[in-house]
Amino acid sequence: MDRMDDTLIDVPRGLTNVVAARTALGDVRGHEGFYHYRQYSAVDLARERTFEEAWYLLLFGSLPEAGELEAFRARIRAARAVPDEVRALLPAIARLTADGDALAGLRMALAAVAAADGVRSLYDEEPAQRLEDAIRVAAVTPVLLAALHALAAGREPLEPRDDLGQVAGYLYLVTGRVPTEQEERALSAYMTAAIDHGFNASTFTARVIASTGADLSAAVGGALGALSGPLHGGAPARALDTLDEIGTPDRTDEWVRRTLSAGGRVMGFGHAVYRTEDPRSRMLREFAEGFGGPRVEFAVQVERRVQELLAELKPGRELHTNVEFYAGIVMELCGIPRPMFTPTFAAARVVGWTAHILEQAADGKILRPSSRYVGPAAPEPLPARVPAAS
């Protein structure tokens, strides 16, 4: 419940569909199977434009001209540099994070970068400096993630290459090789499609922290904390685990029936917002089919059969593949190891988080909702103090 002028207003659990702020960055229209960044379809941008162009659009409100894009890429390249003090800390951060969890390490590393850069609070900064901070954080994030992954595997991190864009450069840092054009295009499509997606838990967290006037890195750290939760972080790796467990197409029926009868979920199917096919899944399926091969053919067969079984076993519910199902396939085809699937998502989503942080900071209003108290009636007189034992 929310309290306004002493009137209690019903609010659904989880704030589902509650409008918490205004945004000009984009929207998700779940019943239509459509979402957009500013005035353009997000899927069209993912198919036809580069990651940097979509990034520029969110920050500046329009797609860049050729000269503007090159200047923006130069700003990104300059912002990738890891401070020497932070570089020296990365091996210790990698050792401290359980099982080489690059996202947990990223929270520490970004805080260290902010300290080394002397970042001030959003409240104390001018808009131009906030923008520089936003580009800095989003540009250095994939470099830090790849470095932490390499160190956890006992390898020396590679240096970023100025001749590679944000997506190809990230792939190079993670895999150790320059990607093919097909790999770069496929991963760029996924990462562009992952930049923003409404007021999800991590984006909302970032905006709440930004509304307090905290520094930009703190707001991104909060978003990363929200993303680490299993109810939000997504499961592209677990969707691939499902394919591994099924093994062959003839085992699909038995696996699905057994999983559902035990109260389990078929990972990669269903979405909290979309009541039609997830448009990101449809696009990524096409990119996966462009690679071809038995792995992709198997995934397509499993998708079709699982949807038939879900329609039979859960009648009346629209359960299509979500972005996670084919995201895992595409990332695997591009050479990204499974522990880096969610970090790769974060390397894309940080662009959306920082754009939302800038928008919230410009608003200048702290987010301070109310709650409805449901505990014991108050006030009651305090009980007599129990004498202390002698």
Q: Establish whether 149 is a catalytic residue.
A: no
Q: What is the DSSP string of 213-275?
A: T--HHHHHHHHHHHHTSTTTS--HHHHHHHHHHH-SGGGHHHHHHHHHHTT---TTB--SS-S
Query: For residues 133 and 117, what is the distance between their CA atoms, to the nearest angstrom?
Result: 9
216-227 and 201-211 are packed helices; what angle lies between their axes, rounded to 10 degrees? 150
Token pair for residue 194? 């992952």
* Residue 321, φ and ψ in degrees, nearest 5: -65, 145
CA distances from 140 to 37, 50, 79, 282, 340 (A): 23, 18, 6, 30, 16
Tell me, what amino acid is at 121?
Answer: S
Catalytic residue among 53, 183, 303, 324: 324
Q: Establish whether 356 is a catalytic residue.
A: no
Q: What is the DSSP string of 102-163?
A: HHHHHHHHHHHHHHHHTPPPGGGS-HHHHHHHHHHHHHHHHHHHHHHHHHHTT-PPPPP-TT
Query: For residues 142 and 335, what is the distance between their CA atoms, to the nearest angstrom?
Result: 16
Any idea what DSSP says for residue 302?
Answer: H
Query: For residues 361 and 351, what is the distance between their CA atoms, to the nearest angstrom?
Result: 15
Q: Of 233, 185, 198, 181, nearest to 341 (Cα)?
A: 233
Catalytic residue among 271, 303, 320, 356: 271
Query: For residues 205 and 228, what is the distance between their CA atoms, to the nearest angstrom?
Result: 12
- Catalytic positions, written as ranges: 271, 324
